[in-house]
């Protein structure tokens, strides 16, 4: 089955700096890669996603890149703000497969 590894497990940055979180996946048939943000005591919130027919996608301060050959994808957050502090999860799945496989999360702390 699919295996998703996420690094780093914790990341601390100064406000205004950039943050990068990386994930690798094992199933070459996976074609959908979402990122979720989970704040304390809440459920994961979808923040951005990318499909395998696209190499990069951007939404304001957030961008995701995908390298299908190397089977890895990354989340980039620019101009970080204290409210970006949360746990971020990557996931991988096949279209209509039902099951999403998640990484173990990255705890991002943005220091004011």
Partner 1 sequence: DAGVTQSPTHLIKTRGQQVTLRCSPKSGHDTVSWYQQALGQGPQFIFQYYEEEERQRGNFPDRFSGHQFPNYSSELNVNALLLGDSALYLCASSPRSSGNTIYFGEGSWLTVV
Using the Cα atoms of residue 49, residue 21, residue 106 and residue 92 in order, give the sign of their dihedral. Answer: positive
Considering beta carbons, is residue 13 or 102 the nearer one to partner 1?
102
CA–CA separation, 112 and 50 (whole Å): 30
What is the x/- site pattern for partner 1, positions 16-55, by CB under 8 A?
----------------x-x-x----xxxxxx--x------
CA–CA separation, 100 and 81 (whole Å): 29
Range 53-112, binding partner 1 (CB under 8 A): 89, 91, 93-105
Number of C-beta neighbours around residue 107 at 10 A: 14
The least CB distance from residue 50 to partner 1, in Å, is 11
Binding region for partner 1 (CB under 8 A): 4, 6, 32, 34, 36, 41-46, 49, 89, 91, 93-105
């Amino acid at each position: 089955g699919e295996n998703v590894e996420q690094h780093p497990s914790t990341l601390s940055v100064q406000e205004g700096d950039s943050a990068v979180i990386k994930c690798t996946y094992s199933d070459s048939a996976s074609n959908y890669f979402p990122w979720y943000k989970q704040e304390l005591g809440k459920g994961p919130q979808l923040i951005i996603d990318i499909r395998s027919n696209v190499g990069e996608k951007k939404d304001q301060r957030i961008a995701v890149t995908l390298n299908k050959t190397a089977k890895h994808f990354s989340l980039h957050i620019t101009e970080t703000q204290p409210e970006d502090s949360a746990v971020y999860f990557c996931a991988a799945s096949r279209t209509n497969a039902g099951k999403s496989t998640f990484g173990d999360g990255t705890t991002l702390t943005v220091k004011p």
